[in-house]
Each structure stands twice: as C-alpha cells, then as structure tokens.
Amino acid sequence: MADRIHNFSAGPARLPAEVIDEARDGLLSLADTGIGILEHTHRGLPYRSVYEETVADVRDIGGISDDYEVLFLSGGASSQFHMVPMNFLDADSVADYVITGPWSKKALAEAKAVGRVHVAASTETTGFSTLPQAYNVSVNSAYLHYTSNDTICGTQFFDVPQVGEIQLVCDACSDLFSRTLDVSRFAVLYASAQKNLGPAGVTLVIVRRDLIERGRTDLPSMLQYRSHAQASSAFNTPPVFSIYVVGLMLKWIRRIGGLPALEERNRVKAETLYHCLDSSYLFSSPVEPQCRSMMNVIFSAGDKQLDSQFVSAAEKEGLIGLAGHRSAGGMRASIYNGMTLSGVQRLTEFINWFESSNAGEF
Ligand SMILES: *Cc1c(COP(=O)(O)O)cnc(C)c1O
C-alpha cells in the first residue's frame, strides 16, 4: 500500500525513503550514544556535532563562504518576513519588494508594519502568470526582496533580478538547495525546511556577516540575527530533530552528486510533467513557459468540476496532494527534491489516462 502512494503536497512534503530510514534509527539512538536525537541535550557534544556537521555541509554543498552566517531559526519563513525589515530597514531607507504572488504580498505586508516599503515591480495584473521584466527601485533602498519560487502560482526566477548594487534579500523557501545558486549575489537568503530540505520546524537563514554586525541593536534579542549568530543557533532551545533531518538530507544530496546533479534530476522531472501538459488537449499550465517553476507545477482543465474529478480520481490511484492552493483552485503538483522521477511518470500516465477516459465528453 505505502509503495502505491505518491505524495505531491506543497509542504511538508515527501522526503527520500533513505533519509526517513536514517531518521528512524536516529530516533532510537543518535550514532552509538544509546540516546535518541529527541532526548539529547542541545548543549551536549552529540547534538553539537550534528549541528556543526550540518552547518559545514550547508557551506560545502551550497558553496557558501565565511562572509556568511548560516543560521537555523524557528518561526518559519514567515518570521523572516518581519525579522529582515526589523534588522535592516531604518528610518532613512525604504525596502523594495517584488510582488509575484501571495507569498511576496505577505512579506510586503509584514514589512509595512515595520517601516517604509515600496513595490518595485508587480505581476498581479497578469494573475501572477509571469515575472517582471523591469524594476523601479527606490533611491535610498535598504534592500530588494523577492520570492525566487512562488509556491502557489508556480513561477520561478531563473536569473537574479538585475538591480545594480542594491542588496538582494530572497525568500527561497521553495527552491533553496534544489539547484545551484551563486550565494555571493545575496545579502540574505532564507527557506523553511519542509519543502526541499527536511521537516517543518526549522528555517535555514543565510545572512552576510557584515550586515548582521550593522543590524539594529535596539530589538528584543530573539529578533536580532546577532543573538542567534553569537549563540550558534542555540540562543534558545533549537529544533534539534528538524536540524538533524536537514543534516541527513544534505548527506543525501551529496551522495547523489551535489546540487548540479540534483538540479538535473529536478529539471528532468519538471520537463517530463510540462511536456505531458503541453501535449494535452484537456489540461494546460497558466504560467508563461519561460518562468514555469521546476518545483510547483500548476495546471487545470479550465473547469472546476473536471478539476475536482481529476483530484479525487488521482487520490484513488495513490496520487495525493494534487489540489491547488485553496486560494488558487485547479491542480498543483509539488515535485521537490524528495519526489522521484518514477512518481512524476506515474502522474503523467494518470493524466493521459484521465484525458482519454474523458475523451467522449469533448
Ligand atoms: C511555504 C512558504 C513560506 C512560509 O513558510 P512557513 O515555514 O510556513 O513560515 C514562505 N514563502 C514561500 C515562498 C513559501 O513557499
């Protein structure tokens, strides 16, 4: 039964079976300590080595230099929506936001509660089916914030926005560590783990050290990157299990050949699915081809009833999590790192079957 299930959820999402196996062993005993990962103190050597190895692997696999701090924080990517402006937006500057979907709108709304914001570009009038061509940035811009992959609308940036010297802050929640990335282009990058990197409960935040040092000091400690950096992400009790599983995920990424190999796998999965949709007369993707996400594939039959028939018929075949976001409708197949090519092929076979079994109705 378990083998039949292919989980296309947008997050928490499918993880590689080997990673789950290793995590199960770690629950009973972390290495040969005889104590499980859930029960070790975060001040003890066994957990500290898990943490240190995980940070070292983030740096090594992501190609991240010592100019950056690698932090594991709680509160989800959603907490970064306010932490970024609280630390880096002062009374003399404006924060620029690129609006490409519901997540960037949320980030903007939170920043608005902190300081002055400006929309540098928005694709809302296109129904978020494309990405901006140009940016209108503020003269005294503190940073430009954008969402590299819109998990709900299914768009993805394949190039960094060209905005000159302005500091880039990126919500990479649904595509960090799914492909190669030149981290040196960014001031801040953040992603909660539950899409490509592990379980919910921890957010990976990569921040330039000089910015942390210049950041505001008149904030509660939990809201300053400085406190978390000084305490090696243990300013308060860290989500030890989530960090442990992120560590296992990173070792899995290394085993399969690192980010270049992972990117190639993810590209093949996405191409397989988009090719199926582009050859379909029933289903189509609303997203412009050059900005189609490799992570979240949005599609629809253009008919609410057919879409919901598709979702329930798919469920009966063990293809679950395919309903679009509650605000968007239609379908969404999330094909993060943990999804296999054979899972995607199962979905394309089902799409073809559904289409031919409905053929009489068109
Ligand atoms: C999931 C997601 C978030 C929110 O993450 P939480 O961990 O739930 O706070 C933010 N931005 C993007 C692009 C996402 O996909």
Is 171 in the active site? yes
Distance from C-alpha of 7 to C-alpha of 349, rounded to nearest angstrom: 16
205-243 per-position pLDDT tens digit: 999 999 999 999 999 999 999 999 999 999 999 999 999
Annotation marks residue 103 as catalytic? yes
Nearest CA to ligand 1 atom 10: 77
Q: Note if 66 is an active site residue.
A: no
Question: Is the CB–ligand 1 distance for residue 77 below 6 Å?
Answer: yes
**Residue 209 has what pLDDT?**
98
pLDDT, position 327:
81
Ligand 1 centroid to Cα of residue 151, in Å, is 8
Q: What is the pLDDT of residue 1?
A: 46
Cα torsion angle, 184, 224, 170, 214, sign: negative
| Ligand 1 pocket residue status of 348, Cβ below 6 Å | no
Judge if the beta carbon of residue 330 lies within 6 A of ligand 1: no
- The residues of the chain scoring below 50 in pLDDT are 1
Pull the structure tokens for residue 172: 């990479």
Catalytic residue among 57, 96, 171, 307: 171
pLDDT tens digits for 41-97?
Answer: 999 999 999 999 999 999 999 999 999 999 999 999 999 999 999 999 999 999 999
